[in-house]
Structure 1
Amino acid sequence: MARNIGAACRRCRRENLKLYLKGDRCYSDKCSFERRAFGPGQHGQARFKKLSDYAVQLREKQKVKSMYGMLEGQFRLTFAKSEMQKGVTGENLLINLERRLDNTIFRIGFASSRNQARQLVRHKHILVNGKKVNVPSFLVSAGDVITIKEKSRANTLLNENLEAVARRGVPSWIELDKDNYKAEIKTLPNREEITMPIQEQLIVELYSK
């Protein structure tokens, strides 16, 4: 399975935005973006020239891809599905990205990062409506109940993540039952609940060229 193995902190610095790719480290003083809030590389502190419209659109797409930990093929396929749905394509795209199982596990608080959430899903620690699901791109629906497999509940890292939920918070479209390692998708997320600074229309314009 292809994956992005580049340095996560460089991606945050490249996009000039904290993308929370490394879990708890992003909330600590060790966060590389906080210590070096300039672009990576030997010319990172130099003043950049004004970007063209295409470059602005491309950077927005790259930022969202990095945020959700996706490769180009996966992202383009998600965009194509979003384009075929009723409604505004950009909003459909963001909602479909939020509905991914790996992102949902991260939002619930079972994992400290989306990368860690993908590992939980791939290693079959996650049940959706009582059935094992090991596909990170699986789209959750309203009414779905997500639980941790019984044998996996003693995992120290998982319990540490749940203890940190109070600091990060849980989105309003998810109801978490921390004591029973269970969460229910009350409703699908809407655009207003996606608070990261994303300009989805730029991505639509890029793919429309």
Structure 2
Amino acid sequence: MARNRQPILKKCRALGIEPMILGVNKTSKRGFRPNANKKPTEYAVQLREKQKARFIYNVMENQFRKLYEEATRKDGVTGLVLVEFLERRLENVVYRLGFAKTRRQARQIVSHGHIAVNRRRVNIASYRVKVGDVISVIENSKNIEIIKEAIEGATVPAWLELDRAAFAGKVLQNPTKEDLDFDLDEALIVEFYSR
């Protein structure tokens, strides 16, 4: 399995995003230094937006392209369907429910088998949840300090419902672009792939 091991702060600076979006409470000592004399090309702007989405959701290129191709086959606006697919990934839902402080931590919690979907253990980070699914921490993992700390300060988006006492959450509806916790121009991603 391919893994992204790039330094978070370095990549955030290159893409022009705040590390807090990723749940990282650090800042780089180096300032963002755009090349003042160069205006980015249309291609560069589209590429940066795609790389930003890939980096935030921790998805490798092949998987991201497959998600885009699946989104083009679905009815509706391709960019919005792509955003919905990315938000419905199990690792992202675990992060948005507050079981983890970062998406990378959520991915590790899922892959180590601490999460159950509809009372069945799932250890695939890219598993796509559906409306009505109940995502919960398995019984033996409720005492893990990382999960207990993360769930205390959790703020949950409108498309999810959290039961803190039971360490469980439910998907109430499909997410929309308004539910994102960062700015993303999905139209640029669609333009990039449809060249």
User: Under TM normalisation by the shorter chain, which class is it?
Assistant: over 0.9
1:64-107 superposed Cα distances (whole Å, 9 cap, x missing partner): 11110111011111111111110000000001000000000000
CA contact (8 A) 1:16 1:37 kept: no
- One-letter amino acid matched to 1:126: I
Match of 1:32 in 2: 27
Write the mapping of 1:10-49 to structure 2, written as runs, cut at 5 A: 10-20=10-20, 23=23, 25-26=24-25, 31-33=26-28, 35-38=29-32, 44=33, 47=36, 49=38
Q: CA distance change for structure 1 residues 48 and 180 in 2, over 3 Å: closer, same or farther?
A: farther
Alpha-carbon distance in 2 for matches of 1:191, 1:128: 24
TM superposition score normalised by structure 1: 0.89
User: Which residue, out of 89, 94, 114, partners 2:78?
Assistant: 89
Match of 1:41 in 2: none
Write the mapping of 1:115-134 to structure 2, written as runs, cut at 5 A: 115-134=104-123
CA contact (8 A) 1:21 1:114 kept: no
Q: Structure 1 vs Structure 2: percent identity of aligned residues?
A: 41
Write the mapping of 1:30-109 to structure 2, written as runs, cut at 5 A: 31-33=26-28, 35-38=29-32, 44=33, 47=36, 49-109=38-98
CA contact (8 A) 2:21 2:181 kept: no
Alpha-carbon distance in 1 for matches of 2:123, 2:181: 27
Contiguous gaps of at least 5 residues in structure 1? 39-43
Match of 2:191 in 1: 205
Confirm whether residue 184 of structure 1 aligns to residue 170 of structure 2.
yes
Equivalent position SS for 1:32: coil
1:134-177 superposed Cα distances (whole Å, 9 cap, x missing partner): 11111111100011010000001110101121xxx110011100
- One-letter amino acid matched to 1:138: Y
- How far apart are 1:21 and its partner, in Å? 6.5
What RMSD, in angstroms, separates the aligned Cα atoms of the two structures? 1.5
Equivalent position SS for 1:147: strand
- How far apart are 1:47 and its partner, in Å? 2.8
Alpha-carbon distance in 1 for matches of 2:191, 2:75: 18
Alpha-carbon distance in 2 for matches of 1:22, 1:84: 30
Alpha-carbon distance in 1 for matches of 2:37, 2:6: 23
Confirm whether residue 156 of structure 1 aligns to residue 142 of structure 2.
no
Contiguous gaps of at least 5 residues in structure 2? none
Q: Which runs of 4+ in 1 moved over 6 A?
A: none
Equivalent position SS for 1:180: coil
Alpha-carbon distance in 1 for matches of 2:22, 2:90: 18
Structure with the bigger RCO (C-alpha within 8 Å, sep 6+) is: 2
TM superposition score normalised by structure 2: 0.95
Confirm whether residue 173 of structure 1 aligns to residue 159 of structure 2.
yes
